[in-house]
Chains A and B, each alone.
Chain A
Amino acid sequence: MPVAAQKTSDVDLFADEILVDPYPAYARLRELGGAVHLPANDVYALTRYDVIRDALADWETFSSTSIGFNPMVNQALTGTSLASDPPVHTQLRATLTAHLSPRALRGLKEQIDAKADSLVAGLVAKGSFDAIDALARAFPLEVVADLIGFTGHARANMLRWGQAAMQVIGPMNQRTAENFPIAGELYGWCSSVTAEDLAPGSVGRGVFDAEARGDIPANTAGHIIHQYLGAGVDTTIAAIGNVVALFSAHPDQLELVRKNPTLVPAAFNEVLRFWAPVHAWGRRVTRDAEIDGAVVPAGSQVAILFGAGNRDPRHYDNPDAFLVERNPIDHLTFGYGPHGCAGQGLARLEAHAIIDALARRVGRLVVGPETRVPSNITRSIDQLPVIEVVPA
């Protein structure tokens, strides 16, 4: 029988200072309880590793019909795999991943590795550059644009469309209001895109071919393109920016990967654990849920704090240290279970390629101060000046 009183905190998850550096607040909330009521946001925050992982696995109690923190975005996402529950979700997910799963992407590794190596080699030769614009944004934009087959107008707008698609998942604050029109541009473009708008031979063209063959339901191809861009750009940019920032701040950890390149996947897992690109993600509780002895009532909105779970000392020793040899393969950053990140295979291909190229070509990076801009859902670095590259 639940006996514990529900924990409450006055933290506002979407206040500017929390969005820029949420980790002190994560630690306070995690110590209060596994689920903490936040009246400022009208949500229950899930903070501890085991609580988050169990909630992600239990789709019957924690429904995805409310992954966003305002009703408009949840309405807009209705009918997508992101925002649906089994059994409907199962077919939608299969349709989404048919062209995106590691199985579908096998064979792309060489091409992505070559792109990363060429980009990093050019930047090392240049010696100073902005790591976010020149690397963290440039690389995923090129990879995703080539993969989906974006050209012209769509290619030119990928960055702002991708950023806006994440911003509008937040509560109805000024950032969300300002970004709805931009997210609407993306939605509008995806509603009218045709096979001929996408480069021949691309995955995007393949999705339309599948629709034409009847392999996927009619009128779903555009929605799938929408999800590839909406979910796959801003988050990957954040992760690759974090790779550069963390290796710059921890040259000893870069040195470990340089000496032992088999650590590349472990290093990426640790980057994802240490700084999660997604700050908060929603669920709706379908029935009273007992968490750490207290009840989260049916109908409540939940905010899953991946980054708080990833630093839970109940699960990881010395969680606030960045250690590439830790290999935290069970980190929460991609979520888990039926809704586990559908693009994680592509994200790994991209990030492993960049880490491998950096480890081979860079001895050390000397950087200036990083700049962060508050953002509702994606936590990323906005500017990171690399002042000097000490070559390998």
Chain B
Amino acid sequence: MKILLDRPRCEGHGLCEEAAPGLMHLDDDGELVLDREEVDGDLLAAANVAVRVCPVAALRLT
């Protein structure tokens, strides 16, 4: 599956980075960078948590 970021909605809360540090990180400007977009297996589980904890629903999986 693929992680999709609604960039205008992202405010840089960073909870996704804590949930899935291997998949995404905030850069020095506080902008979210998806290090990996296609996920399956264990990574899919981590991606699901990241999507779930985003407080402004800026992430989804398709």
In the complex, the answer to whether B8 meets A341 with C-beta atoms within 8 Å is no
Contact residue among A57, A102, A329 (Cβ-Cβ distance under 8 Å from B12): A102
Residue-wise interface mask of B (26-54) relative to A, using a CB-CB cutoff of 8 A (1 in contact, 0 not): 00011100000000000000000000110
In the complex, the answer to whether A329 meets B8 with C-beta atoms within 8 Å is no
CB nearest to A106 among chain B residues: B30
What's the minimum C-beta distance from A248 to chain B, rounded to whole angstroms? 28
Q: Which residues of A sit under 8 angstroms from B57, Cβ to Cβ? A: 57, 336-338, 340
Contact residue among A57, A97, A336 (Cβ-Cβ distance under 8 Å from B11): A97
In the complex, the answer to whether B53 meets A345 with C-beta atoms within 8 Å is no
| Contact A90:B8 (CB < 8 A) given known A103-B31, A338-B57 | yes
What's the minimum C-beta distance from B44 to chain A, rounded to whole angstroms? 18
What's the minimum C-beta distance from A266 to chain B, rounded to whole angstroms? 11
Q: How far is the CA of A342 from the CA of B12 in the complex (A)?
A: 11
Which size class do A's interface residues fall under? Answer: 20 to 34
What's the minimum C-beta distance from A316 to chain B, rounded to whole angstroms? 14
Contact residue among B8, B12, B30, B53 (Cβ-Cβ distance under 8 Å from A94): B8
What's the minimum C-beta distance from B7 to chain A, rounded to whole angstroms? 11
How many chain B residues touch A (CB < 8 A): the figure is 16
Q: Which residues of A sit under 8 angstroms from B11, Cβ to Cβ? A: 97, 101-103, 342, 345
B13 within 8 A of A: yes
In the complex, the answer to whether A102 meets B55 with C-beta atoms within 8 Å is no
| Contact A101:B9 (CB < 8 A) given known A57-B57, A336-B55, A340-B55 | no
CB nearest to A57 among chain B residues: B57
Q: Which residues of A sit under 8 angstroms from B30, Cβ to Cβ? A: 101-104, 106
Contact residue among A103, A106, A329, A338 (Cβ-Cβ distance under 8 Å from B56): A338
A334 within 8 A of B: yes
A344 within 8 A of B: yes
- Within A292-345, the residues touching B (CB, 8 Å) are 329-330, 334, 336-338, 340-342, 344-345
Q: How far is the CA of A97 from the CA of B12 in the complex (A)?
A: 11
Q: How far is the CA of A334 from the CA of B13 in the complex (A)?
A: 12
B19 within 8 A of A: yes
Q: Which residues of B sit under 8 angstroms from A330, Cβ to Cβ? A: 52-53
Q: Which residues of A sit under 8 angstroms from B15, Cβ to Cβ? A: 329
12 contacts between A and B (CB under 8 A): A101-B30, A102-B12, A102-B30, A103-B29, A104-B30, A106-B12, A329-B15, A330-B52, A340-B56, A340-B57, A341-B55, A342-B11
The 5 closest A-B pairs by CB, nearest first: A103-B30, A103-B12, A101-B11, A337-B57, A340-B55
Contact surface of B with A, Cβ cutoff 8 Å: 8-9, 11-15, 19, 29-31, 52-53, 55-57
